[in-house]
Structure 1
Amino acid sequence: MTGANLGLRFLLEVCALVALGIGGYGVAAPLAVRVLLAVLLPLAAAVLWGRYASPRATVKSPPAWYLTQLLVLGGAVAALAFAGHPAWAVALGAVTVANTAILRVLGEWHPSVTR
């Protein structure tokens, strides 16, 4: 069960990057700005995640770990909602919350977990 939930978590992280790209492209702005945001938002999220939230993060700070999780995953839900995809936002948010709760119960969702 742990392996499946960790695999789902990875898919949710990838979905968050895609959602941030969709949200960036959905901004009411000129095409160049939309394309730029569609690239930069997921890129910034990936850099933050790699530095603070990944199992092999270079910075080990529990507050930064929690904040990065909230910014990236919560930002992805918000980006989908603002881009006009509320059903996808609710689905992503619900699955993320459920997965987080399960991983927390299994002892796999904590900043001290490393791989």
Structure 2
Amino acid sequence: MTNPTPPAARAFFLVNEGLAFLLELLALGLLAWWGMTRDIGWAGSLALAVAAPLGAAVLWGMFAAPKARFRIPHAAQLGVKAVVFGAAALALLVLGHRLSFLWFTGAVVLNTASASYYRTRS
């Protein structure tokens, strides 16, 4: 017989999953923002503002999403997440938002660590 998950733990898990989704959307938005601020002409900036988050979303959907097209080991999933979130964090630094970089990076690390803990225990 399996032990049922306590309601408080289940609530924390759901809130953490919601935060993960918001951080993923924020990462895509940050990559788009970074793309639009590049001084490569209007068309180039627009193309980069579309291509950067689109590339990140495709990479995420193929390897890191809960229903990813390709199942890869957990460590490799964390690597994909590090690439996407790392690019978004670097975008914040390039845009000159050092404090936001620290907050975003801290939130991503804590959220990913919590999610990994719960996913590997179930």
| TM-score, reference length from structure 2 | 0.81
- Structure 2 stretches of 5 or more lacking a match? 1-11
Alpha-carbon RMSD across the aligned residues, in angstroms, is: 1.7
- Distance, in Å, in 1 between the alignment partners of 2:76 and 2:35 is 24
**Which residue in the other structure is 1:20 paired with?**
31
**Which residue in the other structure is 2:55 paired with?**
44
Q: Percent identity?
A: 36
In the alignment of these two chains, the number of paired residues is 109
Is 1:6 aligned to residue 9 of structure 2? no
Closer, same or farther: CA 103–66 of 1 in aligned 2, 3 Å: closer
Instruction: Answer with 1 or 2: which has the greater Rg.
Output: 2
- Distance, in Å, in 2 between the alignment partners of 1:26 and 1:90 is 21
The offset of 1:30, in angstroms, is: 1.5
Is 1:76 aligned to residue 76 of structure 2? no
Contact 1:77 1:93 in 2 (8 A): yes
| TM-score, reference length from structure 1 | 0.85
- Structure 1 stretches of 5 or more lacking a match? none
**Which residue in the other structure is 2:68 paired with?**
57
The offset of 1:27, in angstroms, is: 1.9
CA deviations 1:16-53 (Å, max 9, x no partner) are 00011111112232121111111110011111111000
Q: Which has the higher contact order (CA 8 A, sep 6+)?
A: 1
- Distance, in Å, in 1 between the alignment partners of 2:111 and 2:59 is 21
